């Protein structure tokens, strides 16, 4: 009997924790310097791929990572396309201080190709 109470208490605590963390954000957030890169919660990319993409989007370079494998040279890339949001904090000196950008990011599942296309930019006030 004691054991059953213990297990149900454990399950209750576990489900409480789970719902709290699910409520906090509806995506996967990677923080790079003063930016939050937000991926869809059901993103097809692995966490490791998301980190590479986040680095690429927040870096100054705009060159696509173009290392074509032989298969891609012959048949073209096998694209994965998703929307990624980037919130950069305290970009401007006056309100609204922060910047929200939305990108279409395409990657190739066969090689290291990553390309981002800026869809929209909007200033937001989220920092005091």
Tokens standing for 27? Answer: 């995506």
C-beta of 33: minimal distance to Zn ion in Å?
13
Q: Is 17 in the site for Zn ion (CB under 5 A)?
A: no
Which neighbouring-strand residues pair with 100? 87, 122
Whether omega before 96 lies within 30 degrees of 0, making that bond cis, reads yes
Is the CB of 19 or the CB of 71 nearer to Zn ion?
71
Binding to Zn ion by residue 127, rule CB under 5 A? yes
Per-residue tokens: 58: 């927040």
CA neighbor of 84 nearest in space, from 56, 111, 54: 54
Segment 86 to 105, residues that bind Zn ion, using CB under 5 A: 89, 98
Distance CA 107, CA 88 (A): 23
For Zn ion, which stretch binds (CB under 5 A), given 9-17, 29-37, 58-66, 119-127?
Answer: 119-127
Cis peptide upstream of residue 18 (ω within 30 degrees of 0): no
Which lies closer to Zn ion via its Cβ, residue 40 or residue 110? 110
**In the complex, what is the shortest distance from the CB of residue 21 to Zn ion, in angstroms, rounded to a whole number?**
21
Residue 38 near Zn ion by CB under 5 A: no
Contact footprint for Zn ion (CB under 5 A): 72, 77, 89, 98, 108, 110-111, 113, 126-127
């Amino acid at each position: 009997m004691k054991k059953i109470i213990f297990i149900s208490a454990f399950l209750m605590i576990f489900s409480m924790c789970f719902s709290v963390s699910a409520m906090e954000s509806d995506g996967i957030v990677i923080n790079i310097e003063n930016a939050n890169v937000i991926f869809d919660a059901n993103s097809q990319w692995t966490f490791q791929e998301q980190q590479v993409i986040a680095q690429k989007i927040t870096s100054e370079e705009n060159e696509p990572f173009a290392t074509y494998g032989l298969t891609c040279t012959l048949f073209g890339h096998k694209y994965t396309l998703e929307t990624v949001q980037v919130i950069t904090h305290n970009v401007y000196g006056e309100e609204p201080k922060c910047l929200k950008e939305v990108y279409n990011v395409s990657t190739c599942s066969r090689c290291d190709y990553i390309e981002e296309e800026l869809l929209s930019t909007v200033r937001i006030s989220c920092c005091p």
